[in-house]
């Protein structure tokens, strides 16, 4: 009995045949590349065009989904890099300055320490590197079709966030 099982275990199992190079159904390497170039060619990646509009002259973009970090609609020329001693974003987006520049003010979530449950007057250092989450919108064709459709619970969510007010939604008090 044991011998029979061993023999069965070793018998070759019919499976998919390995396809050799050049066989019908092969995908050419030009079709594997988003650049439509052979993978080993040094062709440059197509350039990406970002907004050339100065802050104050760009059009706000709809939020990608409810409470998503808004995309940056204006040029970032001369505003980067953000360093330990220099963060130009704060010059216009800090709540004390935003109105003067007609810029959206940083929301209360960026001034809150969730571990200790307290407001941080100078902002949460974890939110200092703005471009870690806020990215500029580029005029680039979709390489892969995106079928994602955001659902907003109300129209205000298309253009503003309310995460600070709804952050405990669904969490039960002790
Ligand atoms: C000189 C002032 C100024 C500076 C500096 C600036 N912004 Fe802006 N920003 C604006 C204004 C004004 C708008 C509103 C759109 C417009 O009028 O161009 C805006 C829009 C935005 C938005 C979209 C907000 C929304 O409600 O959809 C984001 C995100 C943003 N900026 C991020 C940044 C980041 C990150 C930096 C730093 C790298 C930065 N901004 C630097 C003035 C500024
Ligand atoms: C860790 C990710 C992260 C970082 C870092 C971050 N943000 Fe945000 N930001 C978000 C998210 C998520 C939202 C939307 C939800 C909310 O209100 O917090 C948001 C919302 C905003 C809004 C829109 C507020 C509104 O009322 O609609 C502005 C303006 C903004 N951020 C500016 C900034 C600036 C300026 C910095 C850097 C000083 C920054 N953010 C850093 C994630 C981030």
96 within a domain of the structure (yes/no): yes
User: Per the structure, how many domains does the chain have?
Assistant: 1
The candidate with the shortest Cα–Cα distance to 67, out of 173, 162, 148, is 162
126 within a domain of the structure (yes/no): yes
Please give all residues whose beta carbon lies within 6 A of any atom in ligand 1, as ranges: 55-58, 60, 70, 72-74, 76, 79-80, 88-89, 91-93, 101-104, 130-131, 134
114 within a domain of the structure (yes/no): yes
Q: Which atom of ligand 1 is nearest to the CA of 58?
A: 18
- Asked if 51 and 70 touch (Cβ cutoff 8 Å), the reply is no
Indicate whether residue 67 lines ligand 2 (CB < 6 A).
yes
Tell me which residue has its CA closest to atom 13 in ligand 1: 103
Q: For every one of its 174 residues, what pLDDT tens digit does the chain have, with 9 covering 90 and above?
A: 444 444 444 444 444 444 445 577 888 777 777 777 777 777 777 778 899 999 999 999 999 999 999 999 999 999 999 999 999 999 999 999 999 999 999 999 999 999 999 999 999 999 999 999 999 988 887 778 889 999 999 999 999 999 999 999 999 887
The Cβ of residue 136 has, within 10 Å, a number of other Cβ atoms equal to 16
Ligand nearest to the CA of 77: 1
59 within a domain of the structure (yes/no): yes
Domain range for 67: 49-138
pTM as predicted: 0.85
3 within a domain of the structure (yes/no): no
116 within a domain of the structure (yes/no): yes
CATH of the domain at 82: 1.10.1130.10
What are the structure tokens assigned to 98, written together? 């935003």
38 within a domain of the structure (yes/no): no
146 within a domain of the structure (yes/no): no
């Amino acid at each position: 009995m044991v011998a029979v099982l061993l023999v069965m275990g070793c018998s070759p199992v019919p499976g998919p045949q390995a396809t050799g190079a050049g066989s019908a159904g092969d995908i050419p390497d030009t079709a594997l590349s988003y650049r439509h170039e052979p993978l080993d060619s040094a062709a440059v990646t197509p350039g990406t065009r970002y907004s050339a509009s100065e802050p104050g002259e760009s059009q706000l973009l709809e939020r990608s989904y409810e409470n998503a970090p808004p995309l940056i609609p204006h040029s970032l020329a001369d505003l980067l890099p953000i360093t330990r001693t220099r963060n130009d974003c704060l010059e216009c987006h800090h709540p004390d300055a935003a109105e003067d520049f007609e810029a959206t003010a940083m929301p209360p979530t960026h001034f809150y320490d969730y571990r200790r449950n307290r407001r941080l007057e100078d902002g949460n250092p974890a939110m200092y590197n703005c471009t870690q989450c806020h990215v500029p919108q580029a005029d680039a064709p979709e390489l892969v079709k995106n079928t994602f459709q955001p659902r907003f619970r109300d129209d205000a969510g298309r253009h503003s966030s309310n995460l600070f007010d709804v952050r405990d939604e669904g969490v039960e008090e002790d």
